Amino acid sequence: METQSSGNDPGGPIRHEDRSQLLGQNGLVVWFTGLSGSGKTTIAQEVERMLFSRGRLSYILDGDALRQGLNAGLGFSEEDRTENIRRAAHVARLFQDAGIIALACFISPRIAMRDMARQIVSPARFLEVYVKAGLETCMARDPKGQYRQALEGKIRDYTGLSREQSYEIPLQPDLELDTEQRTAAECARMVVDEIFKNEPPR
């Protein structure tokens, strides 16, 4: 059954601009990178709360969560780690296209991996945030007990402990957060300020 189109009917597919107008925000991917235990997810959770209080829709994409589902079949070889980030970046890109602020938390140890993610998403809608903390600090925090397991030989080639799986520090991140010097709340405020730098909060 045909229906008559109204004058406001765009007559085509819903565009990113249309979804952004509906939500009152532009989609963005905030890519948190850093060693395990540096504070990526903790800061992202605080950012999500701050954005929510300002009427902005965001969603956390956590590396561990994706490895339990979409990336469950991937291991920790260089090839699998790269594929893990490739898939994650495509998921983040879908959130961004929907007008949502995706808070992606992935160690993503290689500069090439992060560059790949930026290109998949779109350089203009990608914010690389380096969550900085020394290895000793991260090992002392060890929120998931993975450093302990690595030292006991239960996890092989753990990032930061293995020469083959070293972490390549970002050369020019969009934002650097030193979690040894700042609290999670302070770091989150810096991220929110960066998000709104060219898009003032309403």
- CATH, residue 123: 3.40.50.300
The predicted structure's pLDDT at residue 158? 76
Domain count for the chain, please give it. Answer: 1
Using 70 as the pLDDT threshold, list the residues of the chain that sit under it. 1-12, 162-164, 198, 200-202
Element (H, E) at 104: strand 101-105
Flag whether 58 is in a domain. yes
Full-model pTM: 0.86
| Torsion-angle region of 11 (φ positive above 0: left; ψ -120 to 50: alpha; else: beta) | left
Asked whether residue 120 is domain-assigned, the answer is: yes
Provide the residue range defining the domain that includes 78. Answer: 16-195
In a domain, 71, yes or no: yes
Give how far Cα 54 sits from Cα of 124, 157, 174, Å: 23, 41, 22
What is the reported pLDDT for 201?
A: 53
CA distance 131 to 33: 6
Residue 22 lies in a domain: yes
pLDDT of 104:
98
Task: Answer for the pair 170, 33: CB distance below 8 angstroms, yes or no.
Answer: yes
Inside any domain, residue 9: no
Predicted local confidence at residue 67, as pLDDT: 82
Residue 176 lies in a domain: yes
Whole-angstrom distance between the N-terminal and C-terminal Cα of the chain?
Answer: 42
Q: Let me know if 108 is a catalytic residue.
A: yes
Residue 102, domain member (yes or no):
yes
Per-residue pLDDT reduced to its tens digit, 107-116: 999 999 999 9
Per-residue model confidence (pLDDT) at position 146: 78
Helical segments of 24-126, H only = 40-53, 63-67, 78-97, 111-121
> Does residue 10 form part of some domain?
no
Q: Decide if 24 contacts 126 (C-beta within 8 A).
A: no
The catalytically annotated residue of 20, 108, 122, 162 is 108
